[in-house]
Amino acid sequence: MPLTIRQWGTALSLTLGLLLPAIALAEKLTVERLFSDPSILGKAPSSLKISPDGSRVTFLRGKDEDYLQQDLWSYELASGETSMLVDSRALYSGDENLSDEEKARRERQRIQGQGIVEYHWSEDGQALVFPVNGDLYYYDLKAEPGQATRRLTQTEAFETDVKFSPGGNYISFVRDQNLYVIDLATGTEKAMTLDGGGLIKNGMAEFVAQEEMNRFTGYWWAGDDSHIAFARVDESPVGIEQRYEIDAESFSVFEQRYPRTGTPNVKITLGVVEVGSGKTSWLDLGAEEDIYLVRVDWLRDSKTVAIQRMDRSQRQLDLLFSSIETGDSRKVLSETSDTWINLHDNLHFLEHSDHFIWSSERSGYNHLYLYDLEGTLQRPLTAGEWVVAELKGVDEEGGLVYFDGFATSTFEKHLYSVPLSGESPGEVRKITSREGWHNVKMAGDYKNFVDSFSTIHSPSQVSLNDSDGTFVTWLEENRLDESHPYHPYMDSHSTPEFGRIPAVDGQMLDYMIIKPVGFDPQKRYPVVLAPYGGPHGHMVTKSWGSGWHQVLAGEGYVVFVMDNRGSDHRGKAFEDVIYRQMGEVEIIDQMSGVEYLKQLPYVDPEKIGIFGWSYGGYMALMAQFKNPELIRAAVAVAPVTQWELYDTFYTERYLDRPQDNPEGYLASSVFPYIEQQANPLLVIHGMADDNVLFLNSTKLFKTLQDKVIPFEMMTYPGGKHGIRGKETRKHLFNTVLNFLDRNLKNPAMD
C-alpha cells in the first residue's frame, strides 16, 4: 500500500533524525591529526625503484610511530614477501645534525623525512648505497643475514649526492665541495677534484639549478666507468644576501650567495676527469659565459658528452656534443621561442641505433621526436593538442616508446606507449586504465612496471603490472578499511567535484569544489580559494587530495581550486599569457572563478577568502589588493611581493631582466595595489627562507605599517620556505584556521 503524504513526512523525519546525528557525530579531520602519527595517508611507500635485475621492488616507508623517519624496504617478486632491508634507527638513532649544504639540498628537493631519504642501486642489482646523517652505507644483498650493511665513511664532513658508477666498480660522492670516488675492489678513497671550497664548488648543482631547473647533481659518469663529467661552479660573481637563522637556542647570520634577477649568475665550466689518472680536461661551452648548464648526459660510446646549454634569456636551448679527447663541441640542434623554453628530461640515446629521442614544444604542445646523431629530424613520434609529460623508457626490442602524459584528460595522468618505428606520428595506446593519477616506474627489461596510483576516493596504492597494463599483484593495496589511519574520517570525507568554466578569452579553466561536511544545499557557506596559480602548477587532478582541504571542509568551508591560465600541461599558449607581466591574467581568471561561485545558491558571496603558499601566497595578496570587494580575507604564506627580490632563472624566464622590462616588474609587484587593501590579511613567513627571502615579507610589513593599514603576521624562526616540522605545521595551520574563522564566520558580517 502506498504511503500517504503524512506518512512520507513522518518517514522522512525519522530518516533525517537518524542521519543528522550520524553526520554530526562523524569524526572530522583536525589540524592536530593531520600532522600526527601514524600518517593519514597509510603505508603508501615513496622512492619506488625496480632493481636492475628485475627481482624486487625497493621503496622508503615511514615508521608507524613517526612517519617522517624512513626505512628501506623490499618486495620480492618471486615470493611476494615484503621485508625491511635497513632500519634507519639501527644506524643512527639521535637527532640528525645536517650540514648547511645538506639542509639546503633537502629544501630544494622538498624532502621532509629523515633517516634514509635516498638510495641507489648498483647496475647488477646486487647492492645498494645510501647516506644516513652524512655518512655512506653499502648494503650487500649477497651477504649473510646481519652482515649486509657496512659503513663506507665516518667523517665530520657530510657526504652527499652518492652514486654507483654504471659498471659497479666505484661509488662516488661530494664532500666539502669536492668530488670523490671509492674503489669497491680495494676500498681506496680518492679525490677527483682538489680546489673545491669557499666560492668554488665541484660536482655540485648551483642554487638555481636545484631550485628552478630540477637538476640536483653536478656530476655524471661515463658508461664505461672511465671518466666523470663535472660542473665547476664559481660563486664569486653572485651577490650576497644576509639571512638570519633563529631558533630557540641560537641566532646566526648567514651570508648567502643569492642571484637576484638582473644580477650576475655563477660562472660555470664543465670538466671531465679521468678516474684512473685523476687528469682533468675542459669542454667547450661556447664563447658566451653568461649561460645556463641545464642538462648533461653521455652518449653510449663513453667518449662524447651531450650538453644542454641555455642562453641567459632562456629563449634558446642548444644541444651540444662534446668530444672528451679534444674538448671541441658541435651544435646538434637548437630550440627557440619568442617567450621561453621549458626544460625536460626526455633526452634518450638508443642503444642499438645511432638515434636519440628528444621532446619539444615547437608545435605548441610538448611531444616526442626521433633524431639521428647528426641532429637530423627523422620523424615525430607523438602529435596532437595534448601534452607528453615524461619519457619513461624505450623498449628497442619490442619497438615501443613509453611515456606518461595527458592525451585523454588534463584531470588525469596516464601511461601510454607509441611505436618506435612505422607511421609518423604513431598510434598512441593508453596502458593504465583506472581513472586517476598514475606515477609509473618501468622495469629495465620493460616486461612490467610499478604503478603508484591514487584517485579522489583512495590514497596512493602501489601495484605491479605487466607492460600491457594487466594487473599482477599489489605491492601496497593501502585499502581504506578499519585498519587504515584515515578510516575514522571517511564518514566526514568530502569528495571533490570537477568542472570547467570559460576564461575571458574563451579558454576553459579546470576547477574542483570540495563542499562542507554535512552539506545542506539550503544553506550558504563561506568559501576559501586555494590556488597555486603559478607556472608549472597543476592542482586540479583526480588524485587523492589535500588533507588541509578536508580540514577546511570539516569546518564548514567550501574549498575552490582552479588552474588559471599560466598553469601547466595545457600547452604553451596557455602558459605564455603571463609573459612579461605576472599577477594579471592569473588574478583575472581566479576572479572569473569567484563570479562563478557567487552564482551558486549555497555560496555566501560576502564571505569569500583566499589561502596560498609561495606563488599561491603572491596570488592571495594580488587577489585581495586588486579585488577587495570580492576577497574578504587573505592568507599569504611565504609570498613573493616584489619580483626584483627573486632569483634570476625563474624571474627572467617570465619577466625578462628588470632593466629590460621595468613596467612589467612594477605591474607584477604587489606594492602598486596596496592602497586598496582594506580587508583582513594574514602574512606568514619562515625567517630562514633561502628561496623566497624573508625580505619579501618584511618589506610588505613596513609598507603596510607606514600606510597605517592593519594586518596580522606570523613568523617562524628557523623556518625555511616549506616551514617544516610536525608541531610547527600544527601551529601554522591552526593560526590560519583561527584567522579564517574570525573573518569569514564572524556574525557581524551577516
Give the CB-side neighbour count of residue 531, counting CA atoms within 13 A: 36
Residues 669-696 as b or e (16 or more Cβ within 10 Å = b): bbeebbeebebbbbbbbbbbbbbbbbbb
Active site residue 563: no
Looking only at the bridges linking them, the beta strands covering 712-716 and 681-686 are: parallel
Rounded Cα gap, residues 654 and 314, in angstroms: 9
Instruction: For residue 85, give every residue at least 6 positions away whose Cβ sits within 8 Å of its Cβ, in sequence order, or none.
Output: 58, 71, 72, 73, 74, 128, 139, 148
Give the 3-state secondary structure of residue 547.
Answer: helix
What cell was used for 140? 650487500
Question: Which residue in the list 161, 318, 647, 689 is annotated as catalytic?
Answer: 689
**Residues 218, 233: contact at Cβ < 8 Å?**
yes
The CB-side HSE value for 657 (13 A sphere, CA atoms) comes to 11
Q: Which of 220, 204, 217, 116 is nearest to 165 (CA)?
A: 220
CA of 117: how far to CAs of 110, 126, 265, in Å?
11, 20, 30
Residue type at 191 in one-letter notation = A
Q: Among 486, 436, 461, 449, which Cα is nearest to 44's?
A: 461
DSSP state of 155: -
C-alpha dist (Å) from residue 342 to 262, 294, 535, 644, 723: 20, 11, 10, 22, 28
Grid cell for residue 7: 506518512
Strands of 53-134, DSSP E? 56-63, 66-76, 82-86, 114-115, 120-121, 127-132
Instruction: Count how many Cα atoms sit within 13 Å of the Cα of residue 154 in the half-sphere of its side chain.
Output: 4
- For residues 737 and 730, the answer to whether their CB atoms sit within 8 Å is no
Nearest-5° Cα angle at 738, 733 to 742: 150
| Bridge partner residues of 219 (DSSP) | 230
Buried b (16+ CB within 10 A) or exposed e, 228-262: bbbbbbebeebeebebebbeeeeeeeeebbbbbbb
> How far, in Å, are 23, 384, 594, 601 from residue 522 at the CA level?
16, 44, 20, 8
C-alpha cell read off for 591? 576572479
Q: 631 — phi, psi (to 5°)?
A: -105, 110
What is the residue whose three cell numbers read 590579511?
A: 681
What gap in Å lies between CA 139 and CA 155, rounded to an integer? 19
Residues in the chain: 750
555-to-6, 24, 472, 550 alpha-carbon distances in Å: 35, 12, 41, 9
Give the whole-angstrom CA distance, residue 701 versus residue 697: 6
Q: What is the DSSP string of 681-736?
A: EEEEEETT-TTTTTHHHHHHHHHHHHTT---EEEEETT--TT---HHHHHHHHHHH
Q: Angle, nearest 10°, between helix axes 585-598 and 615-626?
A: 70
Strand stretches in 494-577, DSSP E: 497-502, 508-514, 525-529, 558-562
Sign of CA dihedral 475, 481, 484, 485: positive
Which of the following is catalytic: 458, 614, 669, 697? 614
- The question of whether 438 is a catalytic residue gets the answer no
* d(C-alpha 586, C-alpha 565), whole Å: 6
Q: How far apart are CA 593 and CA 582, in angstroms?
A: 18
Catalytic site includes residue 322: no
The catalytic residues are: 614, 689, 721
